[in-house]
Structure 1
Amino acid sequence: TQDGILISVKNKVINIISSKENIKEITIFDITGKTLYNKTKVSNTELQIQNLPSSNQVLLVKVTLDNDFTTTRKIIFQ
Structure 2
Amino acid sequence: MIIERLAVAHANDDDNVYYLGDAAILDRVQLDTGPDGQPPFLVEADDRVVTSDVAEAVAAASRGLGSGDVDFGDDLT
TM above 0.5: no
**Highest relative contact order (Cα 8 Å, sep 6+), 1 or 2?**
1
Report the TM-score, using the length of structure 2 for normalisation: 0.32
More strand by share: 1
For the pair shown, the structure with the greater C-alpha radius of gyration is: 2
